[in-house]
Amino acid sequence: MIIRRSHNPAQTQVYFALRENSEEATAVHRQPVEQQKQFWADRFRDAGWQTGRFLDGMWDTEFFYSQEAVQVRTDTWSRGRVALVGDAGYCGSPYSGRGTSAALVGAYVLAGEINRNPADLPAAFATYRATLRPFVDRVQGEVNPKVLRFGFFRKARRESASSAPGRRQPRS
Ligand X SMILES: Cc1cc2nc3c(=O)[nH]c(=O)nc-3n(C[C@H](O)[C@H](O)[C@H](O)COP(=O)(O)OP(=O)(O)OC[C@H]3O[C@@H](n4cnc5c(N)ncnc54)[C@H](O)[C@@H]3O)c2cc1C
What residues line the site for ligand X (CB under 6 A)?
A: 67, 86-88, 94, 97-101, 103
The nearer residue to ligand X, 86 or 110, going by C-beta atoms, is 86
The nearer residue to ligand X, 70 or 123, going by C-beta atoms, is 70
The nearer residue to ligand X, 87 or 142, going by C-beta atoms, is 87
Q: Nearest distance from residue 24's CB to ligand X, in Å?
A: 20
Q: Which residues share a beta bridge with 119? A: none
Q: Please state, in angstroms and rounded to a whole number, the distance separating the CA atoms of residues 109 and 103.
A: 10
Q: Nearest distance from residue 160's CB to ligand X, in Å?
A: 27
The nearer residue to ligand X, 47 or 91, going by C-beta atoms, is 91
Q: Nearest distance from residue 73's CB to ligand X, in Å?
A: 14
Residue 62: is it exposed, middle or buried by C-beta count within 10 angstroms (0-12/13-18/19+)?
exposed
Strands (DSSP E) along 108-172, which ranges? none
Q: Nearest distance from residue 106's CB to ligand X, in Å?
A: 8
Alpha-carbon distances, residue 153 vs 9, 72, 128, 158, 159 (angstroms): 30, 25, 41, 6, 9
